[in-house]
Every structure is written in C-alpha cells, then in structure tokens.
Amino acid sequence: MIPQYASALLISDLHLTPSMPLTAQRFFDFCEKEAPKVEAVFILGDLFEYWVGDDAALHSPFQLEVKRALAILSTKVKTYYLHGNRDFLIGARFLSKTGMTLMSDPSKIAIAGQEYVLCHGDSLCTADIGYQVFRSWVRKPWIQKLFLRLPLHWRRSVANRLRSNSGIQYQRAVQYKVEGLQAKMDVTLVACAAVLRNQNGNRLIHGHTHLPAHHQEHFQTQEWQRWVLSDWDLDHPEGVKPRASALLIDRDGVQYTDLVKA
C-alpha cells in the first residue's frame, strides 16, 4: 500500500555544504518552522552537495548538525528520503540515525486524495547518454562497495572532481544559454511517459534540473502534469537570484511556497 497523507511538503537539491551557511541555516529553519505543519516531508535527493559514505559524517561537524536537525524533524512528522545523483551513497547508518525512511526511485504516494509519482529526476534526462551510462555504473552495488573501501581522502578527491565537472557544465548552460546543452540536461517526454506508464500515474514530481515549473504535457496517447522542484541557493546573490522553495500539497491543491521571503 502506498503512503497516504493529508498534507506534505516536498523539497530537493539543497546541496548542503559548510561553504553555503545561509542555505544551510534556511534548511535548519525549515525543519523547525514550516516542516512540522504538515503530516509528511519528502526530500527528493541531493540534500548534500556530495556524500562519500556514512563514515565520513562521523568526522564532519556540519553533517552531524544536519543529522541532528533531521532526527528532531522525524520525531514530529514522517520524513522520507530519495537518493539524488550527488548523495546516492547515503546508507542505512545515516538513515537510521535521522529516522528518515528511504524511498525507491521512482515511488508513488497519495496526498490529499491524489496520487503522485516521485523521483529525483536524473534518470529522466535520457538525452544525456553519457551521464546515463555513468549513472548505470555508479548505482551498481558492487561498484559502490569498492568505492566505499577506498581511503576517505581518495573518495573526497573523486567527489570533488566530479562535482567540479558537473558545475562547469551547468554554468555553461545557464550563463551562455547553450540550447543543445540545456536540452541535454533536461528531462525528456519519452522518459516521463515511461515512468508514469510503469507507475500507472499521471502526476509527476521531481527535482535535479533546477528548473522549477508546473507543466501540462503529453506524449502520444498519454497526458500528465509535472512539477519540478527548485534547488536552494541563498549564498551566491552575485551570480544568481536567491532561491529556496518547497512544494506544498494539501486539500487546497498543489502550490509552490517561497522560502526566501518566509
């Protein structure tokens, strides 16, 4: 039976890191103020900028602080987590300490009497063939086990290099409006249609693309609605407009909640 709630808040792509203290503080405030007002909170991946293993959190005061905030939140509302492309190595140890429930990607939920399919969103970007090949490899359990056996400083070095390459590609797409690159980094209708067909749904919610919007879409005989969650960034006003929002679903429907002005 799928999870059912009367109200929920959904967030994703906070990319929490000590170098972004304003964004982190807004998340801590969210856990204390907005989140306890609903029955469930869904975090659809990339809560952290990167995650190289649960053991790394033991040596990070920042990650311990985030863990405490999540553990407190989980005592107030049901809190779910879905892996992102930056933190898919979050494991059972961290989840048990926070009280969060791990969801598979994709998953179906029911909120205020309507069903929604949730996913992080990177699996929907099927135009980026190179990334999909990379994703298929790093999600293999035996690859992850080998990586987690590497010394911690090696793992951090690999993560930083991958993060740097990803950031360069994203900035190129945003700053120079490279249409082909932007399309490559976005979801495809074919992928969305396939996920919804497999899940027997017509409402899709995801993050990853950093392109928050509500879409009415169709492919062949299928029609659906799609909501894209915002990323959070309150620390770089010189480069991008400060942003942080959550998707609120309750008896009044679906609406974006601006957390910058809150």
Annotated domain spans of the chain: 4-258
Burial class of residue 123 (count of CB atoms within 10 Å of its CB; 0-12, 13-18, 19+): buried
| pLDDT class of 184 with cuts at 50, 70, 90 | low
pLDDT over 90 percentage in the chain = 79
Q: What confidence score (pLDDT) does residue 175 get?
A: 47
Check residues 240 and 130 and name the one with the higher pLDDT.
130
| pLDDT class of 236 with cuts at 50, 70, 90 | confident
Given a cut of 80, whether residue 77 has pLDDT beyond it is: yes
The structure tokens listed for 98 are 């926070």
The total of other beta-carbon atoms located within 10 Å of residue 254's CB is 18
Burial class of residue 179 (count of CB atoms within 10 Å of its CB; 0-12, 13-18, 19+): exposed
Tell me the C-alpha distance between 180 and 216, whole Å. 22
Given a cut of 80, whether residue 261 has pLDDT beyond it is: no
Given a cut of 70, whether residue 41 has pLDDT beyond it is: yes
Given a cut of 90, whether residue 162 has pLDDT beyond it is: no
Q: What confidence score (pLDDT) does residue 168 get?
A: 41
Indicate the range of 93-107, 141-155, 160-174, 202-216 predicted with least confidence: 160-174
| pLDDT class of 166 with cuts at 50, 70, 90 | low
Q: What confidence score (pLDDT) does residue 187 get?
A: 94
Helix or strand (DSSP H, E) at 68: helix 61-74
What's the average model confidence in pLDDT over 239-252? Answer: 91
Q: What confidence score (pLDDT) does residue 159 get?
A: 87
The type of residue at 43 is: I
Q: What is the mean pLDDT of the chain?
A: 91
Q: What fold characterizes domain 4-258?
A: Purple Acid Phosphatase; chain A, domain 2 (3.60.21)
